[in-house]
Amino acid sequence: MHAFNMKGFWKITMSISFVFLWWNIGKACSQPQPQQPQVPGFFIFGDSLVDNGNNNGILTLARANYRPYGIDFPQGATGRFTNGRTYVDALAQLLGFPNYIPPYARTRGRALLRGVNYASGASGIRDETGNNLGDHASMKQQVANFADTVLQMRRLFRGDTNALNSYLSKCIFYSGMGSNDYLNNYYMPDFYTTSSDYTPKAYAAVLLQDYSRMLTQLYTLGARKVIVSAVGQIGCIPYQLARYHGNGSRCNEKINSAISLFNSGLRKLVDRFNGGELRGAKFVFLDSYQSTSDLYLNGTSYGFEVIDKGCCGVGRNNGQVTCLPLQAACEDRRKYLFWDAFHPTEVANIYFAKSSYSSQTQSYTYPINIQQLAML
């Protein structure tokens, strides 16, 4: 029986390890390295159009953490109000982020640096908006949550406020608010008094006054590159089409014209902020009304065959009741503009993200596109 030569054994082991090390280094160098995101972080404020799970653990009807929501999303039903990716998921990919921006409800520590999604289904600019559906985080609460994040981030920067402010100034912020202030407030007179308290013009003005204050708070907390989204053409969503019996028009133009007052005021607010009111800030107005209108009018040229019905829902236009747990959805989601009574499909969200990221005209993004904003 041969004696075991320990010295020889270690020599062979070390040689093999060395070969493997060089092989791995060579392999790593020959493989394309993952691209760096164009901005260090991405912070998101909004409603169910961009919520990715913040409402999962609270008492509300505005939840989407059940099938068939997420039917085309790798992680399944996460709380996203669509079949796959949301607008901000697709935008995060275009900005070069390797992972989707996580929800505030479960993000702490160093992960905060890459960005956080504060969006909450049913929320609005006004605190009472969406109360008919239960609990949610209003815009005011979302800004307060971001203030809490900034405190946590300050600890990660060891109290160096200048370094933190410099970091935040390079990040992109997205805010999409206002839809529910119409859907789940102004046009719900059985639950809210706003439609008798204000004319559409006065209501738009009071919303913009409140919103301006909240966006200024974000600026004070460190936001410098900010995308603000207009309200989409909600007079044409399946929920409205199921309820509207108008003459000569398929959409509820009364709602669309009220929203247009808010949107034109928001664009003027962006001009004001960019004109020196918020020094060093760059705001981009995202014209979601125009992009949703274009898809609605020219759906077939973008590959959509069904533009007036939800892929999943109940009743007229699949819009009287939104998508129910375990309900059978349509087979080919790519042919549908709307996923349910309120929200676009993943395909539509990807189109909106691509068109706003690299838009060559000011019809979708003003005064510059999102790619240009990232490069500033």
Judged against a pLDDT cut of 60, whether residue 16 lies above it is answered with no
Is residue 114 classed as helix, strand or coil in its secondary structure?
A: helix
Residue 356's contacts (CB-CB under 8 Å, 6 or more residues apart) are 91, 227, 286, 291, 364, 365, 369, 370
Active-site residue, from 123, 136, 340, 359? 340
pLDDT at 361: 87
DSSP code string of 301-327 = GGT-SEEEEESSEESGGG-SEEPPTTP
- Give the architecture (CATH level 2) of 42-375: 3-Layer(aba) Sandwich (3.40)
Cα–Cα dist 271/18, whole Å: 61
Q: What is the pLDDT of residues 229-259, one digit of tens each?
A: 999 999 999 999 998 876 667 899 999 999 9
Domain ranges of the chain: 42-375
Judged against a pLDDT cut of 60, whether residue 18 lies above it is answered with no
Q: If you average pLDDT over residues 151-161, what whole number do you get? A: 96
Phi-psi region of 345 (alpha: psi -120 to 50; beta: other; left: phi over 0): beta
DSSP code string of 38-97 = SSS-EEEEESTTT-BSTTTTSSBS----STTTTTTSTT--SSBSSSS--HHHHHHHHTT-
Judged against a pLDDT cut of 50, whether residue 28 lies above it is answered with no
Judged against a pLDDT cut of 70, whether residue 2 lies above it is answered with no
Q: Which of 198, 206, 185, 205 is nearest to 128 (CA)?
A: 185
- The strand pairing partners of 336, in sequence order, are 306
**Cβ–Cβ under 8 Å, residues 212 and 156:** no
* 19-33, 94-108, 191-205, 337-351: segment of lowest average pLDDT: 19-33
Model confidence band, residue 20 (pLDDT cutoffs 50, 70, 90): very low
Cα–Cα dist 200/306, whole Å: 31
Judged against a pLDDT cut of 70, whether residue 291 lies above it is answered with yes
Judged against a pLDDT cut of 70, whether residue 167 lies above it is answered with yes
DSSP code string of 226-281 = EEEEPP--GGGSHHHHTT---SS-SS-HHHHHHHHHHHHHHHHHHHHIIIIISTT-
How high is the mean pLDDT of the chain?
91
312 vs 20, higher pLDDT:
312
Query: What is the residue whose two structure tokens read 């949703």?
Result: 292
Active-site residue, from 48, 229, 288, 291? 48
Give the torsion through C-alpha atoms of 67, 129, 51, 206, to 10 deg: 150
Q: What is the pLDDT of residues 127-142, one digit of tens each?
A: 999 999 999 999 999 9
pLDDT at 244: 83
**Cβ–Cβ under 8 Å, residues 115 and 42:** yes
Cα–Cα dist 236/244, whole Å: 10
- DSSP letter at 338? E
Cα–Cα dist 321/298, whole Å: 26
Which two structure tokens, joined as six digits, stand for 155?
């600890």
Judged against a pLDDT cut of 80, whether residue 12 lies above it is answered with no
Q: What is the pLDDT of residues 318-340, one digit of tens each?
A: 999 899 999 999 999 999 999 99
Q: Is 245 known to be catalytic?
A: no
Cα–Cα dist 279/223, whole Å: 11
Q: If you average pLDDT over residues 175-183, what whole number do you get? A: 98
pLDDT at 289: 96
Taking every pair of C-alpha atoms in the chain, what is the biggest distance, in angstroms? 100
Query: What is the residue whose two structure tokens read 């019905």?
Result: 309
Q: How far is CA 371 from CA 22, 95, 376, in A?
A: 39, 8, 9
* 6-20, 121-135, 287-301: segment of lowest average pLDDT: 6-20
Q: Is 136 known to be catalytic?
A: no
Judged against a pLDDT cut of 70, whether residue 114 lies above it is answered with yes
Phi-psi region of 285 (alpha: psi -120 to 50; beta: other; left: phi over 0): beta
Cα–Cα dist 318/333, whole Å: 14
Active-site residue, from 51, 175, 287, 343? 343
pLDDT at 247: 60
Q: Is 72 known to be catalytic?
A: no
Q: If you average pLDDT over residues 20-26, what whole number do you get? A: 40
Residue 169's contacts (CB-CB under 8 Å, 6 or more residues apart) are 222, 224, 225, 280
Q: What is the pLDDT of residues 31-86, one digit of tens each?
A: 445 679 999 999 999 999 999 999 999 999 999 999 999 999 999 999 999 999 99
